[in-house]
A and B are shown apart, each in its own frame.
Chain A
Amino acid sequence: MADGLADKMIRVDMTTQTASVEPFPAKWRLLGGRALSARILIEECDPKCEPLGAGNVLVMAPGVMSGTSAPTSGRISIGGKSPLTGGIKEANAGGNPGQDLQKLGYRVIVVKGKPADPKQRFGLEVDQSGVRIVAGDAYKGLWNYAACEKLYEKYPQTASFITIGPAGEMQLSGASVACTDEKGRPARHAARGGLGAVMGSKGLKFVAVDAGKLSIRQPAVRKEFFAYAKDYTKAYQAGPQMFKTGTASVVFIANMLNTFPYKNRTEGQSPDVETLRGERIVESFATRGGGMHNCMSGCIVQCSNVVHDKDGNYKTSALEFETLTMLGANCGIASWEDVADLDRLCDEVGLDTIETGAAIAIFMDSGGMEFGDAAGAKRILHEIASGTELGKAIGNGAVSIGKKRKHARIPVVKGQAIPAWDPRPLKATGITYATSAMGADHTAGLIVNPGLPPEQFAQASQESQIANAACDSSGFCQFLQPTIEEIAKYYTMFVGEDVTREQIADMGWQCLLDEWKFNDGAGFTKADDDLPACMKEEGVGPNHAMKFDVSAEVIAAAKRRFASREELFKLKATG
């Protein structure tokens, strides 16, 4: 319902394998996605809990706008205490489960407890008749695509699924949570921070959401809401549509800006940029098929590519910039087609492509394998799926394999691998990595502005973090690039009361405060707000002169709120 008072939430106790429905608390009515996840974790989860224990709380929270006619607004946040970082974590994904949950009136699923028998698997069914925990052993061990194919044998084609692959079932710290896209493929992942392992620890193999033919959620001020959404869409489509050919299109510019890490970040540029750039993928559409598509219903960005193999058969979706970088250039792998194979394997096994790419690169850098060995990298993915010792070490992420190999160059912050966007040429982004409670996460606040004066680093990072927290709470995709001002307008018309842009900015800031508070409780200190030695001592770019040289004082300033300025409200969310 538009006013939020008749909305519901689902509570699941995996110790007793029971699910129940409760009214959604009015105090949370303007919270969704990441902000809602953080609030629930602050109120209901002991920050000192064991991430894979019964005390951790797994949150699945669609954004506030999910399920409405607002364009590209259906993202869902997965939250919990991360087994990778030991701190709070939110990772969000596209696909349709977020929208379907909201169409059914469910604002959030909160999962607690864990089964006594860790070998058992369960599923959660959510549909118009209610919510139920069901047996899931029939899906045990299945890779994500096979699991979803089997699920569609049982559930209607209108259903969408949230699943984990073998990595999640093995509770590996690099495990992702998969969401099915508009075609029912488990290709959209809440990938970062190992939340798939948390889902696995609770014995939950899948969530099946079937909204049937329920229509979109209705706003309080219908006419104005629909008109605004229509005008917004028209304006977007008349604009440059920077992601019309996918995020892979930024490979070339990233390489120019020395933020296309090569061979475990020892260089900022790759000699293989021509065979990894997104244009090669776009060219393949003409002869093989595939192309650009919606990852979720109602998306106007359509940045998701569908990649086919040489025979014209579906291979993977979406092959993104981060994946081409971390599983490609960063591992010295030169062919986008090999990266496409690796991407599919990660989606199948249920792994974060960033963490896995970083971990394989560390394995290569430490002499475990030659850089550029694509066949070897694929073998590793199979080893992760089958749970070999090496597979587990890499599946548990960059720090895990780095320690096992006694290797010094481990590019992580708070235990999470640094994404492609490099903090040495992009120092304000480095401040985001240092200060975000999530660890190194470009979606927490990306600033691609190498010319930014140093005195503006802290404020730029903070403003970007506020804008992205607001976006990730709304359900809008960061690639739609909504501003705080625009989000406030949507909220105002949806709930039927004035929601100011200042309120939205404050909610974004409060989300950050909640996340920092959780991490304080988990034992994090100021010393954790830092980048690793390899980012400060080893440079990229001409003469390897670009290093992360931002002082602790400037980093700390990003966590003290600056006075809001006009730019904050007009800043586009960017990830």
Chain B
Amino acid sequence: MPTIVIPPPYRGSTQGLERIEVAGRTVRDCIDAVSAIHPAFRPLVLDANGKVHRFVKLFRNGDQLGGDVLAAAIAEGDEVHVLAAIAGG
């Protein structure tokens, strides 16, 4: 199964979990699957229109996803890292 890697600031929404295995073939599937268990996760990643927040970046196996990020294909064993801007003076 693919694994979603949760960034430290978001682990409050996942009861402290850093890695969550989910069933899914796209990034959107994976986010939906995590959000089904941890509803507070979704608004941290997606805005009210269902788009990825500007301050959030998604990576598949270390490569940053571009274009239609949510439609990106995810295969068995892939790791999806969620990165969020976590500083700001």
8 sample A-B contacts, Cβ–Cβ < 8 Å, listed by A number: A250-B55, A254-B88, A448-B9, A450-B12, A451-B8, A451-B11, A453-B16, A574-B87
Contacts of B88 in A (CB 8 A): 243, 247-250, 254, 320-322
Interface centre among B64, B86, B89 (most CB of A within 10 A): B89
Contacts of A249 in B (CB 8 A): 54-55, 85, 88
Contacts of B55 in A (CB 8 A): 242, 245, 249-250, 252-253
Having A240-B59, A446-B87, one finds 11 other A-B pairs with CB under 8 Å, namely A238-B64, A243-B88, A249-B54, A253-B9, A254-B88, A257-B9, A321-B88, A322-B89, A451-B16, A478-B87, A479-B87
Q: Complex Cα distance A451/B85, Å?
A: 16
> Closest Cβ of chain A: how far from B82's Cβ, in Å?
11
Q: A253-B9, A257-B12 are in contact. Are A239 and B53 (CB under 8 A)?
A: no
Contacts of A279 in B (CB 8 A): 54
> Closest Cβ of chain A: how far from B68's Cβ, in Å?
17
B39 within 8 A of A: no
Contact of A242 among B8, B14, B85, B89 (CB under 8 A): B85
The residue on A at minimum CB distance from B47 is A252
Q: Complex Cα distance A182/B88, Å?
A: 21
Tell me whether chain A's interface is mostly helix, strand or loop, or mixed. loop
Contacts of A253 in B (CB 8 A): 9, 44, 53, 55, 84-86
Contacts of A320 in B (CB 8 A): 88-89
Chain A contributes a number of interface residues (CB within 8 A of B) equal to 36
The A-contacting residues of B in range 41-63, CB under 8 angstroms, are: 43-44, 53-55, 57, 59
Is the Cβ of A256 less than 8 Å from the Cβ of B43?
Answer: yes
> Closest Cβ of chain A: how far from B64's Cβ, in Å?
6
Q: Complex Cα distance A322/B89, Å?
A: 5
Contact of A240 among B9, B16, B43, B83 (CB under 8 A): B83
Is the Cβ of B12 less than 8 Å from the Cβ of A451?
Answer: yes
The B-contacting residues of A in range 402-428, CB under 8 angstroms, are: 425
> Closest Cβ of chain B: how far from A489's Cβ, in Å?
22
Q: Complex Cα distance A242/B57, Å?
A: 8
Q: A240-B57, A245-B54, A321-B89 are in contact. Are A450 and B11 (CB under 8 A)?
A: yes
Is the Cβ of B89 less than 8 Å from the Cβ of A449?
Answer: no
Interface string of B6-21 (1 = CB under 8 A from A): 0011011010100000
A289 within 8 A of B: no
Contacts of A245 in B (CB 8 A): 54-55
Contacts of B86 in A (CB 8 A): 242, 250, 253, 448, 574
Q: Complex Cα distance A390/B14, Å?
A: 47
Contacts of A243 in B (CB 8 A): 85, 87-88
> Closest Cβ of chain A: how far from B34's Cβ, in Å?
15
A356 within 8 A of B: no
Q: Complex Cα distance A478/B59, Å?
A: 23
Contacts of A575 in B (CB 8 A): 87, 89
Q: Complex Cα distance A242/B83, Å?
A: 9
Contacts of A425 in B (CB 8 A): 12
> Closest Cβ of chain A: how far from B54's Cβ, in Å?
6
> Closest Cβ of chain A: how far from B18's Cβ, in Å?
8
Q: Complex Cα distance A245/B87, Å?
A: 13
The residue on B at minimum CB distance from A249 is B55
> Closest Cβ of chain B: how far from A283's Cβ, in Å?
11
| Pairs A-B, 3 closest by C-beta atoms | A451-B11, A247-B88, A321-B88
A443 within 8 A of B: yes
A185 within 8 A of B: no
Contacts of B53 in A (CB 8 A): 252-253
Is the Cβ of A442 less than 8 Å from the Cβ of B89?
Answer: yes
Contact of A250 among B11, B12, B43, B87 (CB under 8 A): B87
> Closest Cβ of chain B: how far from A177's Cβ, in Å?
16
> Closest Cβ of chain B: how far from A447's Cβ, in Å?
8
> Closest Cβ of chain B: how far from A247's Cβ, in Å?
3
> Closest Cβ of chain B: how far from A213's Cβ, in Å?
32
Q: Complex Cα distance A53/B30, Å?
A: 62
Interface string of A278-308 (1 = CB under 8 A from B): 1100100000000000000000000000000
Contacts of B8 in A (CB 8 A): 448-452
> Closest Cβ of chain A: how far from B19's Cβ, in Å?
13
The residue on B at minimum CB distance from A452 is B8
Interface string of A440-460 (1 = CB under 8 A from B): 001100101111110000000
Contacts of A240 in B (CB 8 A): 57, 59, 64, 83
Q: A240-B64, A242-B55, A250-B55 are in contact. Are A448 and B87 (CB under 8 A)?
A: yes
Contacts of B89 in A (CB 8 A): 247, 320-322, 442-443, 478-479, 575
> Closest Cβ of chain A: how far from B27's Cβ, in Å?
15
The B-contacting residues of A in range 213-254, CB under 8 angstroms, are: 238-240, 242-243, 245, 247-250, 252-254
Q: Complex Cα distance A446/B44, Å?
A: 20
> Closest Cβ of chain B: how far from A433's Cβ, in Å?
15
